[in-house]
A = this chain, B = another copy of it.
């Protein structure tokens, strides 16, 4: 045998989402890009905000000496400070650059966090339906995935969460706005979730980390306010990305933010910076760090996304699909419509 048995097994189990995307690319080449509507992966169809290309032009014209070199593994201190300032405004908690590490997107961020936390065989809880890569990320670092169901509106069932947590539970991954359902968790749910985790920590004498994947935090509709996780639980870590809010998914730029009140905060930050290095990311791409430093308060047009959501949601419902109306992100998770008499 040549390749890893584990990887061979995982490849068989599933790359269906990526295969649809690659099939779509082939169809586009064959039929023309205007003939194929690819809804397979989370690839923004919009272009980045014009501020991004303005800033890129400025940097390309007047390159800073050393701007493509290695920097600290955590990222440039001024980029980390810019993210910290934005987070402080959004989250109602005071962040500094010392709570932030720049990463190769949210996928990089999640791998770094899991590598930093997990001992072999420790468990990580996810809420179904979930972004299927979580299972791979947890397995990469020798963790075990435990799945907790959600209710008919895709809200985590906290009674099921409670009974799934054991002394081996190291972390819970939540993802709001959610991929693949578009559901946004409200303040009440976040508060209750924090209380469950806090009570279980006390009962078991362990720390349980709440890892909040917030790749879609800024893509939120209907004027909803995003409830931050940091007040609800001390052991909380945000993994985020500019892939969606700046429409830059191919550039691999995101960040990790650790709750300043987290137990052993400095050790955890040191571990995260170390893992960012040894997993081979080394640092988030330098040029993107220079760009996003200036763009923390810029987002793609939410109105455009909301219009698309309204159009698609309205028509799917008319066609007989049953689905929860997404309040964020750009996904829908409809049930198959019931068969009509004529189609039987």
Determine the chain B residues whose CB is within 8 A of the CB of A5 once the complex forms: 119
Give 30 A-B contacts (CB < 8 Å), ordered by A residue: A2-B207, A2-B264, A2-B267, A3-B268, A4-B117, A4-B141, A6-B119, A7-B116, A7-B274, A7-B275, A11-B271, A15-B274, A25-B72, A47-B65, A47-B66, A53-B60, A56-B56, A68-B250, A68-B251, A69-B250, A104-B104, A104-B280, A107-B280, A107-B282, A108-B281, A137-B278, A137-B280, A252-B281, A252-B285, A287-B287
A4 touches B271 (CB 8 A): yes
**Is A296 part of the contact surface with B, judged by Cβ < 8 Å?**
no
Known: A2-B263, A56-B59. 20 other contacts (CB 8 A): A2-B207, A2-B267, A4-B116, A7-B115, A7-B271, A11-B271, A42-B70, A43-B70, A56-B56, A68-B247, A68-B250, A69-B247, A69-B250, A71-B250, A104-B104, A104-B282, A111-B280, A133-B277, A142-B142, A250-B287
Q: Does A179 contact B (CB under 8 A)?
A: no
On whether the beta carbons of A140 and B279 are closer than 8 Å, the reply is yes
Question: A202-240: which residues lie under 8 A (CB-CB) from chain B?
Answer: 207, 209, 235
B residues less than 8 Å from A18 (CB atoms) = 73, 277
A63 to B60, CA, bound (A): 13
| B268 and A2 contacting across the interface, CB-CB below 8 Å | yes
**A41 CB-CB contact with B under 8 Å:** yes
- Kindly provide the distance from the CB of A329 to the nearest chain B CB, expressed in whole angstroms: 15
A21 to chain B, nearest CB (A): 8
Is A105 interfacial (CB-CB < 8 Å)? Answer: yes
Shortest Cβ gap from A133 to chain B (Å): 7
Is A101 on the interface with B (CB-CB < 8 A)? no
Contact A69 B57 (CB under 8 A): no
Known: A3-B116, A4-B118, A7-B271. A56 touches B60 (CB 8 A): yes
Interface flag for A61 (CB, 8 Å): yes
Q: Copy number of this protein in the oligomer?
A: 2
Most buried by B among A8, A137, A251: A251
In the complex, whether A283 has a CB less than 8 A from a CB of chain B is yes
A69 lies within 8 A of B43 (CB) = yes
- Residue pair B44, A69 in contact (C-beta under 8 Å): yes
Within 8 Å of chain B (Cβ to Cβ): is A51? no
User: Any chain B CB within 8 A of the CB of A78?
Assistant: no
The 4 closest A-B pairs by CB, nearest first: A250-B286, A111-B280, A107-B280, A136-B278
Question: Residue of B at shortest CB range from A107?
Answer: B280
CB-CB under 8 A from A142, the residues of chain B are 142
Q: How far is the CA of A277 from the CA of B123 in the complex (A)?
A: 22
Closest to A207 in B: B2
Which residues 255-280 of A have a CB within 8 angstroms of B?
263-264, 267-268, 270-271, 274-275, 277-280
Kindly list chain B residues whose C-beta atoms are within 8 Å of the C-beta of A162. Answer: none
**Residue among A7, A105, A112, A287 with max Cβ neighbours from chain B (10 Å):** A7
Closest partner residue, chain B, to A143 (CB atom):
B4
Interface flags for A61-89 (1: CB within 8 Å of B; 0: not) read: 10101111111110000000000000000
Q: In the complex, A268→B1 CA distance in Å?
A: 11
> What is the bound-complex CA distance between A10 and B285, given in angstroms?
25
**B72 and A22 contact, CB distance less than 8 A:** yes
Q: Which of B66, B112, B248, B286 contacts A251 (CB 8 A)?
A: B286
